[in-house]
């Protein structure tokens, strides 16, 4: 039986199998950086689950990657913002780095960056700009450059980045709710 996109989305939303995913990393390239945290938010919940490294273990993201990947493998559909090009490949690269006998299984994946890019004409396509422009309940949290650079020395920096990662998935859910009528094809 083949389901159309709208039916699949309604079923995934109702069952909690649609999750919003965001990661924070120490670098944009996985061979020079590591995962700091992964936040996952089921569509029909307000509680974000965040897998985070301890401050003294930055660089050793093995446990965080394993736990997040195991969680994501339980879900039917992921929703990200530019996650097909960054978040998911970064996690797969870190699995490879650690030689884990674990695969981040292919799932239905909605990448709102590409959905919005294909269906709108805005001056900027960042999640922060779109959330602000649409006046959604959650906006993207701004983080200073010093917080990013101090993450290995300042215990508060990791906590700030956790707040940002969690606010990103809440904002992502808002963005999904405003733009899901654009979704025509959900690919793995």
Write out pLDDT tens, residues 10-36: 999 999 999 999 999 999 999 999 999
Please state the rounded mean pLDDT for residues 96-112.
93
Mean local confidence (pLDDT), 72-83: 97
Higher pLDDT, 186 or 143: 143
- Whole-prediction pTM value? 0.95
Domain 5-112+121-182 sits in CATH 3.30.420.10: yes
Distance CA(48)–CA(50), nearest Å, equals: 6
| Residues 149-185: tens digit of each pLDDT | 999 888 899 999 999 999 999 999 999 999 999 998 8
CA 159 to chain CA centroid, nearest Å: 17
Query: Phi first, then psi: what are they for 50, rounded to 5°?
Result: -125, 125
CB 110 within 8 A of CB 43: no
In a 10 Å sphere around its CB, with 0-12 CB exposed, 13-18 middle and 19+ buried, how is residue 92 labelled? middle
> Quick one: which H or E segment has residue 23?
strand 18-25
């Amino acid at each position: 039986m083949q389901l159309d996109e709208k039916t699949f989305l309604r079923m995934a939303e109702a069952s909690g199998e649609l999750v919003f995913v965001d990661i924070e990393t120490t670098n944009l390239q996985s061979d020079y950086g590591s995962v700091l945290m992964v936040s996952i938010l089921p569509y029909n919940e307000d509680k974000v689950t965040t897998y985070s490294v301890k401050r003294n273990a930055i660089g050793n993201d093995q446990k965080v990657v394993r736990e997040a990947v195991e969680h994501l493998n339980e879900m039917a559909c992921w929703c990200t913002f530019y996650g097909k090009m960054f978040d998911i490949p970064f996690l797969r690269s870190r699995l490879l780095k650690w030689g884990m006998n674990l695969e981040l299984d292919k799932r239905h994946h909605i990448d709102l960056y590409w959905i919005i890019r294909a269906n709108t004409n805005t001056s900027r396509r960042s999640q922060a700009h779109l959330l602000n422009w649409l006046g959604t309940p959650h906006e993207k949290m701004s983080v200073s450059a010093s917080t990013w650079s101090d993450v290995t020395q300042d215990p508060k920096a990791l906590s700030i980045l956790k707040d940002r990662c969690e606010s990103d998935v809440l904002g992502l859910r808002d963005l999904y709710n405003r733009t899901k009528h654009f979704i025509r094809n959900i690919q793995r």
